């Protein structure tokens, strides 16, 4: 039984999935595998993956008969594997060679481990973010401000996830999962240095003009956000304005034990992306972006 399974949903990823698989194989520990779910692609995604399955037993393909979306595809992949650890990888990203070096040691005090992402576009320079980290103690506060952890960098203990219904359908389904797990006591941490190069391209759902409103319309996400915010603040947060929520969090940050955590959360509070579930109609201003 492999100790680590990398789960990779893929839909019409013919042009990028070979790079994603090749780079992940380079980084993969010996006791690990890659499971790919072809989400009823209409291009050559399956053929691209089969070139790898024909050469190595470390890559396996699940042929989806209907399009179910990335979240449900990840649920299928997690349910079909039995490794101690589960890692996420997107079919349009690049895994950095050091990603899984000492991951078990890094997770000695965490249930889910994330890292920053390096961003790139076609024929453009790679943007590497400033080093930033968050401890499990600070993560619930940070998650109320915004989602600071990239889905494609996740490494999780299988027993920290919730089986075949881990991801709930809806926009920003990964954010909803982190909120729900944090409210349930999962230890979530963010390390300082990138482990994945994230490809920006027009086909991403986050590039659509309607995306932010569709996120705010996700009932599962709103409910999980409210539960965690109420847990952290000690009072019902559903009726709070953005500015009241910000003020309460700033007071809480003052009592966060780690100075590194305090610095990072304050950066998140200044980000123009803070409080993404609140409609931007309160006139609040933000000084800088997070990364």
CA distance 258 to 248: 18
Across-strand partners of 120? 199
- What is the rounded average pLDDT of the residues 234-251? 92
What does the alpha-carbon distance between residue 210 and residue 7 come to, in Å, rounded to a whole number?
Answer: 28
- With 70 as the cut, is the pLDDT of residue 90 above it? yes
The answer to pTM > 0.75 is: yes
User: pLDDT above 90 covers what percent of the chain?
Assistant: 78
pLDDT, position 49: 98
Q: What string of DSSP letters covers the chain?
A: --SEEEEEEESS-TTTHHHHHHHHHHH--TTEEEEEEE-S-SSSHHHHHHHHHTT-TTEEEEE-SS---HHHHHHHHHHT---SEEEE--TTSEE-TTTTTTHHHHTTT-SEEE--EEEE-TTSPPB-PPP--B-TTTHHHHHHH---S-GGG-EEEGGGS-GGG-SPSSTTHHHHHHHHHHHTT--EEE-SS--EEEE--TTSGGGSTTHHHHHHT-HHHHHHHHHHHHHHHSS--TT--HHHHHHHHHHHHTT-S-HHHHHHHHHHHHSTTSSTTS-S-S---------
Per the DSSP assignment, residues forming a β-bridge with 155 are 87, 113
Sheet of 94-95: strand order equals 94-95, 196-199, 117-120
Sorted by where each begins, the domain ranges of the chain are: 1-101, 108-149+158-291
**pLDDT bracket for residue 289 (50, 70, 90):** very low
**Averaged pLDDT score across all residues of the chain:** 90
Q: How confident is the model at residue 287 (pLDDT cuts 50, 70, 90)?
A: very low
Q: Mind listing the pLDDT tens digit for each residue in 1-31? A: 899 999 999 999 999 999 999 999 999 999 9
CATH of domain 1-101: 3.90.550.10
pLDDT digits (tens, 9 = 90+) for 55-73: 999 999 999 989 999 999 9
Return the higher-pLDDT residue of 189 and 128.
Answer: 189
* Tens digit of each residue's pLDDT (9 = 90 or more) over 181-210: 999 999 999 999 999 999 876 666 655 667
Give CA–CA dist 149/147, Å, rounded.
6
Rounded to 5°, the CA angle 30-126-27 comes to 0
């Amino acid at each position: 039984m492999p100790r680590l399974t990398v789960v990779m949903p893929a839909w019409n990823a013919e042009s990028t999935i070979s790079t994603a698989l090749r780079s992940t194989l380079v980084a993969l520990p010996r006791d690990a595998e890659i499971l790919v779910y072809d989400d009823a692609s209409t291009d050559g995604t399956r053929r691209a993956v089969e070139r790898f399955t024909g050469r190595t037993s470390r890559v396996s393909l699940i042929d989806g008969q209907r399009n179910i979306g990335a979240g449900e595809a990840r649920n299928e992949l997690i349910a079909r594997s039995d490794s101690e650890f589960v890692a996420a990888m997107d079919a349009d990203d690049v895994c950095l060679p050091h990603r899984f070096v000492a991951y078990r040691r890094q997770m000695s005090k965490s249930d889910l481990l994330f890292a920053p992402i390096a961003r790139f576009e076609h024929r453009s320079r790679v943007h590497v973010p400033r080093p930033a980290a968050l401890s499990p103690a600070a993560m619930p506060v940070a998650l109320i401000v915004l989602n600071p952890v990239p889905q494609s960098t996740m490494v999780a203990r299988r027993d920290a996830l919730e089986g075949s219904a881990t991801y709930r359908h809806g926009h920003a389904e990964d954010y909803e999962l982190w909120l729900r797990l944090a409210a349930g006591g999962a230890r979530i941490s963010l390390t300082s240095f990138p482990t994945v190069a994230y490809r920006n391209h027009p086909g991403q759902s986050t590039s659509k003009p309607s995306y932010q409103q569709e996120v705010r319309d996700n009932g599962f996400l709103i409910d999980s956000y409210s539960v965690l915010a109420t847990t952290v603040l000690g009072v019902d947060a559903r009726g709070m304005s953005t500015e009241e929520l910000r003020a309460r969090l700033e007071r809480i940050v003052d009592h966060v034990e780690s100075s590194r955590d305090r610095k990072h959360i304050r950066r998140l509070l200044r980000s123009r992306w803070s409080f993404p579930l609140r409609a931007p109609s309160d006139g609040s201003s933000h000084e800088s972006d997070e990364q």
